């Protein structure tokens, strides 16, 4: 049974994407975990916000898709330069994801994903990623990640 991720803002409930177990099994869609510090770095919207949740090591679930065309309804922000992970910052943390049986390093987040109906969010990001052990700087690709802590799924 597939299920639908919906906008969690009041009186919206726009259907954002259909999460299909067949696609999860084939790797076309995948749920991954990234740390709360990644989530907070990009100030993603958290639907059940609790002041007591300050644990930066908590893992947050994200759905990866190859393209925003996989969404039923999604809005994309303009490119924002400040979303780049700052490589000169000594405190900068590297983030990795495994996808399609490879390990990727997140290079940059180029755009926010927002609800296409109510323009609220952000509920996800468009990321540029690169194979972890690849020396070739050109071999990067773009993916979308939808924060499952930002939307309703049922
Ligand atoms: Zn909405």
In the prediction, which pLDDT does 50 show? 65
E strands within the chain? 3-7, 15-19, 30-35, 59-65, 75-76, 96-99, 102-114, 124-131, 140-147, 151-153
Ligand 1 geometric centre to CA of 19 (Å): 18
CATH architecture for residues 3-153: Beta Complex (2.170)
- How does pLDDT run across 92-138, given as a tens digit for each residue? 678 999 888 889 999 888 899 999 999 999 999 999 999 988 777 67
* Chain position carrying tokens 């919207």: 45
At 54, the pLDDT band (50, 70, 90 cuts) reads low
Which has more pLDDT, 79 or 67?
67
Ligand 1 geometric centre to CA of 6 (Å): 8
- How does pLDDT run across 41-50, given as a tens digit for each residue? 889 999 876 6
Q: Is the pLDDT of residue 12 over 80?
A: yes
At 15, the pLDDT band (50, 70, 90 cuts) reads very high
Are 38 and 97 contacting, i.e. CB atoms less than 8 angstroms apart? Answer: no
In the prediction, which pLDDT does 17 show? 96
Per-domain residue ranges for the chain? 3-153
Residue 130 β-bridge partners:
105, 140
Are 150 and 47 contacting, i.e. CB atoms less than 8 angstroms apart? Answer: yes
**Ion ligand 1 residue ranges (Cβ < 5 Å):** 7, 9, 12, 14, 115, 117-118
**pTM, full prediction:** 0.88
Q: Could you write out the DSSP letters of every residue in 7-39?
A: E-STTT--EEEEE-HHHHHHTSSEEEEEEHHHH
């Amino acid at each position: 049974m597939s299920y639908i991720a919906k906008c969690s803002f009041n009186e919206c409930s726009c259907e954002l994407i259909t999460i299909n177990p067949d696609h999860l099994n084939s790797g076309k869609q995948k749920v991954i975990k990234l740390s709360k510090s990644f989530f907070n770095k990009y100030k993603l919207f958290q639907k059940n916000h609790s002041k007591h949740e300050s644990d930066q090591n908590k893992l947050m679930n994200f759905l990866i898709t190859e393209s925003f065309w996989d969404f039923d309804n999604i809005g994309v922000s303009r490119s924002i330069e400040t979303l780049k992970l700052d490589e000169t910052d000594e405190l900068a943390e590297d983030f990795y994801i495994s996808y399609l049986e490879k390990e990727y390093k997140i290079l940059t987040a180029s755009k926010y994903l927002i609800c296409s109906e109510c323009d609220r969010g952000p509920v996800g990001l468009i990321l540029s990623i690169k194979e972890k052990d690849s020396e070739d700087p050109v071999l990067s690709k773009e993916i979308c990640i939808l924060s499952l802590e930002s939307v309703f799924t049922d």
